[in-house]
Amino acid sequence: MGVAVITGAAGGIGVAVVKAFENANYDCVLLDRQKIDKPSSVSIALDLSNPVDVQSAFAKISERFSEIDALVNLAGVNLRSSVRNMQVTDWDKLMNINVGHMFLTAKCAMSMMRLGSTITNMASISGHVASADYPAYVTSKAAVESLTIALSKELKGAGIRVNAVAPGWVNAGFTHAALDTSDDPGAIFAAAKEAHLLGRMAEPDEIADAILWLAGPTATSVNGQTLFVDGGLMRKH
């Protein structure tokens, strides 16, 4: 199918996305904080918030591949803290990773993209359902959607589609971190059942399938959109 560059490839959703794209016969380039031991893919360890690291990574990619067909930006971090208690450095770090890395990768990738290439960014229902406990995270995810729209307009003349996927709760990543530190994990699953019309959180493979679809030939009229893969959470709200 082509070449897919995937950030945050070591995370729970990232692993599922890599698997989905490999099964669809993409050559995958995995970008994460640590090198991923996966012989079937190209892995590059870097700080995605560092412009020099990102530029260097794409220089390496261009030595191996002539074009990029899909850029999937998944990398992100979370932090529970009110504005009152949050350190400025923590706010900046979260914004630089959650939104800034998408700016950097898109800036580096677009010169290697062609008619029909795609960019898919990881948004979240948190960009629409704000929480006082996570002000930096919800702000970053709202910004991801605005960046997605702006990029779709900038790249329309090149025939490059740009979309976002907004999950609800996913049985991976941040949810696993919450489960690991919870005194009552069952309460988290109960809350997920109550929050979603489907009565459960999503599995990583379900998010990966949506991302693969947006990058594929059956979604060629979808551009500048946020696809909610949230089990009906937004409708519940």
- Lookup: tokens for 205: 């493979």
The angle that helices 135-154 and 88-95 make with each other, rounded to 10 degrees, is 30
101, 48 in Cβ contact below 8 A?
A: yes
107-138 burial, b at 16+ Cβ within 10 Å, e below that, comes to: ebbbebbeeebbbbbbbbbbbbbeeeebbbbb
Residues whose CB falls within 8 Å of the CB of residue 72, separated by 6 or more in sequence, listed in order: 4, 5, 6, 7, 17, 21, 119, 120, 211, 215
Q: Which of 26, 58, 134, 174 is catalytic?
A: 134
Helix residue spans in 26-166 (DSSP H): 51-64, 88-95, 101-109, 135-154
Q: Among this protein's residues, is 137 annotated catalytic?
A: no
Q: Catalytic positions, please?
A: 134
